[in-house]
Structure 1
């Protein structure tokens, strides 16, 4: 992707691509900015496994899922298989990971083992990398970066062919994941609540084709690289959590409440309820603010 710098004469100048000196420089930059780039809390670098391997980066995402990050600055052809090996190891050694979380983040932080993630970070991927990841596992993500002059870093998701949000593929790893669907959350709910949810779901997904819908155990999340909205489907209402500060939210009707000091499963900082189709327009005006904050 071409990036252009606007000069003082209102001209544009194409930014030149440059490279990191080595893979370690790439890794250190991402680790120091892990939460800003991916919404992942940093736990450890070069984590030594019981079989003598070294996991590049370990983290915990905003949904409480364990995350392994492996970097590929040059041609490291075994990074996918190596990452899968570490992912299997991690699930077999949950106690080691949970002790690390308690040490780094505190004893009250919960780990969600339903869907551990493997993120691969590289400047480019060949067709064999993309084919392999598309076939092997839903829980592997490819991230592409480009470093430009003036220290501009561009990071994007690599869209895998045939992969759709919310669908699961057969896997060749030994890990068994707990799967949840939107229909699980709608089960036994009234037709009124289902209609409200479907309308809101459609409106959210229309904001951007890159939005991913994730059905988790306690809520349904909507994300770009990071969550911007979570929905808890209750018997008589939709509870909407937004990943934006109450102080930054323009809310003329003042329906959103700060929930940072209140225990809740979702990742958002403020919450409000939707109880009718007539409330969706206003709800979307709040949701869009959280979405735009993640662009």
Structure 2
């Protein structure tokens, strides 16, 4: 994060605030664990979790906004093999679905535990810095790995996503669904809905996708029911409604700070939103004019992520 400069302003004078690493790794871990959902978009489950015969302790375990298991590891010095260590814990996680789901059940309830997405568990490594070779190496690893750099500026903490790999998804999504048990057809995926959409709606989604991905370090990740777009946290989710010829976009915005318009924007607080928690605004986009109208809201949501 050497390119990030922070200045304290007094009138017309500025003084640079030097960025620092924390003196003890545990300080960083405790800070993030206490604020994990706000800082990383991950619901905290456990700290220093013992992996039994596998050996070692996972720094933090969590569940992200898409229902995906997450291993979070921290390091302060450049010479710590934090990525290798996290990958070894991922091997344990993939062999202990039931144990992880019991942890989710105890912390977040039966419904959340029954919908854990095992198709692509994530690793998040948080450090004061990563070497060039580490950022290149993760590109060759077929797992979802985020490298997040932090700096402390006085009483403020800055986080920056320096690398995010999509990995390879499997078809696993938690428990066997009721449709699979009864022989009913499996639910259609968001990609299938998109493929079956009229050409005009596919083109409109392509324009929306281009707008979202034009922002630096935004990643697109297909989920079962929606496309998620994230930086460190999800900044937007997109569902396809071919029958209504509309894109339903959920944004991380305070509804009280948005001039809501019936039929175009809606306050989702208390109604639930796939992939986003807390303050969420729904935007319905049915035309290029709607997309142009929503561009400012999309920009604001990306900036919050």
Aligned partner of 2:185 in structure 1 is: none
Provide closer, same or farther for how the CA distance between residues 264 and 157 of structure 1 changes in structure 2, counting only shifts above 3 A: closer
Q: Is the 8 A contact 1:121 1:143 kept in 2?
A: yes
Measured on the aligned residues, the alpha-carbon RMSD in Å equals 2.6
Q: Is the 8 A contact 1:71 1:122 kept in 2?
A: yes
Provide closer, same or farther for how the CA distance between residues 168 and 85 of structure 1 changes in structure 2, counting only shifts above 3 A: closer
Aligned partner of 1:55 in structure 2 is: 58
Matched, 1:274 2:274: no
Matched, 1:100 2:103: yes
Measure how far apart 1:197 and its partner are. 1.1
Counterpart Cα distance in 2 of 1:266 and 1:8: 40
SS in 2 for 1:71: strand
Would you say how many aligned residue pairs link Structure 1 and Structure 2?
281
User: Which runs of 4 or more aligned residues in structure 1 lie more than 4 Å from their structure 2 counterparts after TM superposition?
Assistant: 181-185
Provide closer, same or farther for how the CA distance between residues 185 and 211 of structure 1 changes in structure 2, counting only shifts above 3 A: farther
Aligned partner of 1:78 in structure 2 is: 81
1:248 to 257, 261, 280: 257
Counterpart Cα distance in 1 of 2:59 and 2:293: 44
Q: Is the 8 A contact 1:23 1:74 kept in 2?
A: no
Provide closer, same or farther for how the CA distance between residues 225 and 71 of structure 1 changes in structure 2, counting only shifts above 3 A: same
Provide closer, same or farther for how the CA distance between residues 289 and 218 of structure 1 changes in structure 2, counting only shifts above 3 A: same
Measure how far apart 1:138 and its partner are. 4.1
Q: Is the 8 A contact 1:146 1:154 kept in 2?
A: yes
SS in 2 for 1:108: helix
Cα distance per residue 1:184-226 (max 9 Å; x no partner): 45222211211221122223333x2322122111101122221
Deviates more, 1:225-234 or 1:244-253: 244-253
Deviates more, 1:232-241 or 1:5-14: 5-14
Q: Is the 8 A contact 1:246 1:256 kept in 2?
A: no
Counterpart Cα distance in 2 of 1:78 and 1:209: 28
Matched, 1:205 2:246: no
Matched, 1:230 2:233: no
SS in 2 for 1:214: strand
1:34 to 36, 40, 48: 36
Provide closer, same or farther for how the CA distance between residues 5 and 233 of structure 1 changes in structure 2, counting only shifts above 3 A: same
Counterpart Cα distance in 1 of 2:160 and 2:142: 19
Aligned partner of 2:135 in structure 1 is: 130
**TM-score when normalising by structure 1:** 0.84
1:15 to 11, 14, 17: 17
SS in 2 for 1:17: coil
Deviates more, 1:135-144 or 1:275-284: 275-284
Aligned partner of 2:225 in structure 1 is: 218
Aligned partner of 1:152 in structure 2 is: 156
Matched, 1:177 2:170: yes
Deviates more, 1:240-249 or 1:33-42: 240-249
Q: Is the 8 A contact 1:241 1:271 kept in 2?
A: yes
Aligned partner of 1:173 in structure 2 is: none
Counterpart Cα distance in 1 of 2:223 and 2:258: 26
Counterpart Cα distance in 1 of 2:161 and 2:87: 19
